[in-house]
Amino acid sequence: MVQLVALALLTLERSPNLTLRSTQVRTYFQSIEPVIRAKCLPCHAPGRSAPFSLSTYDQVRKHSDLIRVKAMTFSMPPTLGESDFGKLSKSSKMTDSEIVDLQKWMQAGMPRGIGEDRPTAPIMDWHLGKPTKTISLKSSSSVRTEGPRYWMTNVVEVAIDGDLKAFDIVPEDRKALQSVTLAYITPDMSKVLPKIAESFGSVSQIGAMPIGAWAPGYKSWILPRDVGLRIPKGSRLIVQAHYQPLGRKTSPNMKLGLYFASSPQPKQAKWITMSKDAFEIPANEAVSFSLQKVLVRPCRVISILPEARFYCSKIRLMAESGTKSKRVFETMAWNPYWVGNFAPQAPIELGANTRLSVTFNYNNDERCSINEGKVPTLVRSGKKLGDELCKMHVLTAPL
Ligand code: HEC
């Protein structure tokens, strides 16, 4: 991490058109506040997911050292995806020039300028409107008060079926609930149920079908006209939630909103999964795995849902057709705490015979934060917390 900051500083200082000795420094209200408002306040505002607010000049000033580090290492906002096909719904990352402005402003002593701190917009519960089905998910235990972040998987005994168009989640405590993965099991999969509660990570490892992932501040996928994701009759929901202990007692509960089409949709969305099931990462080694799948029919990419854990550093999904190759999705720096849907804002259309090719990079050495302060040991794929995962799900709709 420290290395990365130094590198970023170096790049900025060397680049001739990004010089830090520019004559005019703009003030907080001229150039910093609008960026913070657009890119940080979705989470760093009172009552929202992040641990502290950045909604006033004083708060930004107080956290300026950390903000600089986070901005320059591209680790905040925690928006990890980039695509050659255009914006992904999550990518509100800071641009290079915004980072340079921030840097200049900090070096000039953080001038305030003329302006007033503005209130933040109220939190909207259901930004897609009222769901067709709202499910209250209640847990008998409260969120742990101490210790590391942790995952909990629940099977929800609620019958769902129909053509799903979208979903959304409203947590009872926005700071405690960090992310959610949703899946379903069809009636004939019920025999896997007893094992589910202890499993961590991939819901598809236990034979469940993915629906999608959610994290605070991010939107889930929405299917286009005429397309639905069919959930067969008698299916049950699997909800895997990821919590952050806050040092106080709080609720793990949430409301889940499902948006079903009023009638069966003429076209069906489909998850394409590429997965490496058994692998090892030797101590002090870096490895990479590539997986491929050829599309039989032309399709639109609706959502990208990668699954990997702590040893993964980078994931890249390419679409290859003839001699052409384009990035559908790439992470800046993989962070297992921020799973979610990476949904393209404009449709990504891929022709028949396009080859989807995904590469996962893993580091099992001192560069990996989970190895900090300990001697690296052999890592295996598996379902436990210290195990690794290598899966890429792509939600597609027929053209
Ligand atoms: C999608 C929600 C979200 C957005 C958007 C977001 N943050 Fe955060 N931020 C968090 C959460 C949650 C944490 C605490 C947990 C973590 O570090 O992952 C955090 C932590 C931080 C920290 C503290 C890190 C530390 O090591 O203690 C800083 C600094 C920060 N964010 C700055 C920013 C800045 C600057 C922006 C905008 C450019 C931003 N964040 C945008 C959710 C967000």
**Which residues lie below 8 Å from residue 386, measured CB to CB, with a gap of 6+?**
310, 370, 379
Residue 11 — very low, low, confident or very high, per pLDDT cuts 50/70/90? very low
Cβ 40 under 6 angstroms from ligand 1: yes
Query: Comparing 105-119, 172-186, 256-270, which segment has the lowest mean pLDDT?
Result: 172-186
Please choose, from the candidates 46, 107, 45, 104, the residue with its C-alpha nearest in 3D space to the C-alpha of residue 77. Answer: 45
DSSP assignment, residue 342?
A: B
The pLDDT score that the predictor gives to residue 234 is 86
The pLDDT score that the predictor gives to residue 90 is 59
The pLDDT score that the predictor gives to residue 324 is 94
Ligand 1 mean position to 93 CA, how many Å?
A: 12
Domains plus CATH for the chain? Answer: 2-107 (no CATH), 133-267 (2.60.120.310), 270-398 (2.60.120.230)
Ligand 1: which of 66, 67, 76, 94 to mutate, most ligand atoms within 8 Å of CB? 76
Ligand 1 mean position to 8 CA, how many Å?
A: 19
Backbone angles phi, psi at 201, to 5 degrees: 90, -125
pLDDT tens-digit map of 134-145: 999 988 888 999
DSSP assignment, residue 58?
A: H
Check whether 21 has a pLDDT greater than 60.
no
Tell me the C-alpha distance between 318 and 210, whole Å.
Answer: 21
In angstroms, the Cα distances linking 330 to 220, 342, 390 are: 18, 10, 15
The SS3 call for residue 192 is: helix
Tell me the C-alpha distance between 29 and 32, whole Å.
Answer: 6
Cβ atoms within 10 Å of 75's Cβ, excluding its own: 18
Amino acid at 88: L
The helices-and-strands tally (H runs, E runs) of the chain is 6, 18
Cβ 43 under 6 angstroms from ligand 1: yes
Task: Using the Cα atoms of residue 97, residue 99, residue 101 and residue 104 in order, give the sign of their dihedral.
Answer: negative
Cβ 53 under 6 angstroms from ligand 1: no
Strand order in the sheet with 286-294: 81-82, 324-331, 312-321, 355-363, 286-294
Task: Using the Cα atoms of residue 168, residue 170, residue 171 and residue 174 in order, give the sign of their dihedral.
Answer: positive
Cβ 177 under 6 angstroms from ligand 1: no
Please choose, from the candidates 387, 190, 249, the residue with its C-alpha nearest in 3D space to the C-alpha of residue 307. Answer: 387
Cβ 217 under 6 angstroms from ligand 1: yes
The pLDDT score that the predictor gives to residue 311 is 93
The pLDDT score that the predictor gives to residue 91 is 54
- 195: tokens are 């094992």
- 338: tokens are 């921020």
Which residues are bridge partners to 358 per DSSP?
A: 291, 317
The pLDDT score that the predictor gives to residue 192 is 59
The minimum-distance atom of ligand 1 relative to the CA of 67 is 29
The minimum-distance atom of ligand 1 relative to the CA of 218 is 1
**Residue with token string 């993989």:** 334
pLDDT tens-digit map of 332-365: 778 887 777 788 888 899 999 999 999 999 999 9
Ligand 1 mean position to 50 CA, how many Å?
A: 6
Instruction: Kindly state the average pLDDT of the residues 244-254.
Output: 93
Check whether 233 has a pLDDT greater than 70.
yes
- The residue that leads in pLDDT, 204 or 367, is 367
The pLDDT score that the predictor gives to residue 199 is 52
Please choose, from the candidates 228, 240, 224, 212, the residue with its C-alpha nearest in 3D space to the C-alpha of residue 341. Answer: 212
pLDDT tens-digit map of 152-201: 777 777 778 899 999 999 999 989 998 888 988 888 776 655 555 545 55
The pLDDT score that the predictor gives to residue 236 is 85
Tell me the C-alpha distance between 15 and 11, whole Å.
Answer: 6
The pLDDT score that the predictor gives to residue 341 is 79
Cβ 66 under 6 angstroms from ligand 1: yes
